[in-house]
Amino acid sequence: MMSNKGKESAVILSQECIAPDIYSMWIQTEKIAAEAVPGQFISMYTKDGSKLLPRPISLCEVECQKGQIRVVYRVTGAGTGTEQFSRMKAGDTIDILGPLGNGFPLDTAKGSRAMLIGGGIGVPPMLELAKQLDGEKTLVMGYRDGQFLKEEFEQQGSLFIATEDGSAGTRGNVMDAIAANELSADIIYACGPSPMLRAIKEYAEEKKIVCYISMEEKMACGIGACLACVCQSKEVDGHSHVHNKRICKDGPVFLSTEVEI
């Protein structure tokens, strides 16, 4: 019954700042790279005893053959755990646990036109999804500033960008970019801040498009035990038989019709 799951001390292969406050880290971890699917996340731990809780960070890329994963994360402020991660260098070790969560379903997109929508720090997980999804893909990415991962996305499909200040692509958010470019799809995958997910959920339900969204909430355990990171669900959840699905365990990816945002 017990598996080989557990925290591991993994070696950092590279660390790079790719936009203001946005960092990209490659980590050597055969175990996680072998198991991970797009949309899953890992728990990352600081070495600072005053910051105990793991930081849940989505997987941006998975190189199964090489046993490597990439995380692209935002430094959320001075003195934060993510700032400590950003100061780590190639050769340093970092404690991680994963892969965690369910990930995006890939089969449902077969033969249909998929739209992948990322906003802010919801952009990175869409990259591995874009790499693994077959067929026609439209990519819509929204940025505050600095269009990180742009070249990588351009290789995966038709890319449309929205920026808050209009410095690139459509001025505004991802919904503005979808409207301005008259984009359409048979299936939507999205990750980003709650207001964005709320708008996409509404749009998808109005147009009757199947839509998967990846959600975020403050987490403690990351494995479904503490019940901190719940979201309101339409159906009763399997754990507590109320209407609270666990984002870390039942998600982070949900059908948009499954959850209230």
Partner 1 sequence: MNTTVNLAGVELKNPVMTASGTFGSGEEYSEFVDLNRLGAVVTKGVANVPWTGNPTPRIAETYGGMMNAIGLQNPGMEVFCRRDIPFLKQFDTRIIVNVCGKSTEDYCEVVERLADEPVDMLEINISCPNVKEGGIAFGQNPKAVEAITKEIKRYAKQPVIMKLSPNVTDITETARAAEAGGADVLSLINTLTGMKIDIHRQTFALANKTGGVSGPAVKPIAVRMVYQVGQAVKLPIIGMGGISSYEDAIEFILAGATAVSVGTANFYNPAATVEIADGIERYMEKYHFENIRDMVGIVN
Please state the closest distance from residue 226 (CB atom) to partner 1, in A: 6
Pick one of 155, 184, 240, 257: the residue that binds partner 1 (CB under 8 A).
240
Residue 70 near residue 25 (C-beta atoms within 8 A)? yes
Q: How many CB atoms lie within 10 A of CB 61?
A: 21
Please state the closest distance from residue 206 (CB atom) to partner 1, in A: 26
Pick one of 3, 78, 206, 235: the residue that binds partner 1 (CB under 8 A).
3
Residue 18 near residue 149 (C-beta atoms within 8 A)? yes
Give the residue with the Cβ less far from partner 1, 54 or 119.
54
Helices in 95-242 by DSSP H: which ranges? 125-132, 150-154, 174-180, 194-206
Binding of partner 1 at residue 97 (CB under 8 A)?
yes
**Pairwise CA distance, residues 173 & 178, whole Å:** 9
Diameter over CA atoms, the chain: 53
Strands 158-163 and 137-143: parallel
Give the residue with the Cβ less far from partner 1, 112 or 240.
240
Please state the closest distance from residue 237 (CB atom) to partner 1, in A: 9
Give the residue with the Cβ less far from partner 1, 54 or 169.
54
Binding of partner 1 at residue 12 (CB under 8 A)?
no
The verdict on whether omega for the bond into residue 56 sits within 30 degrees of 0, i.e. cis, is: no
Give the residue with the Cβ less far from partner 1, 70 or 249.
249
Give the residue with the Cβ less far from partner 1, 179 or 242.
242
Tokens (6 digits) for 252: 């982070």
**DSSP state at residue 237:** P
Give the residue with the Cβ less far from partner 1, 208 or 241.
241
Q: What is the footprint of partner 1 within residues 174-233 (CB under 8 A)?
A: 217-231
Q: What is the footprint of partner 1 within residues 98-137 (CB under 8 A)?
A: none
Residue 46 near residue 94 (C-beta atoms within 8 A)? no
Binding of partner 1 at residue 83 (CB under 8 A)?
no
Residue window 30-69: x/- pattern of binding to partner 1, with contact defined by CB under 8 A: ---------------x---xxxxxx---------------
3-state secondary structure of 88: coil
Please state the closest distance from residue 243 (CB atom) to partner 1, in A: 7
Range in contact with partner 1 (rule: CB under 8 A) among 104-112, 162-170, 242-250, 252-260: 242-250
Please state the closest distance from residue 163 (CB atom) to partner 1, in A: 23
Closest Cα to residue 11, out of 33, 22, 27, 34? 27
CB-count exposure of residue 235 (10 Å: 0-12, 13-18, 19+): exposed
Q: What are phi and psi of 231, to 5 degrees?
A: -130, 155
| Contact residues: partner 1, CB under 8 A | 1-3, 5-7, 45, 49-54, 77, 97, 217-231, 239-244, 249
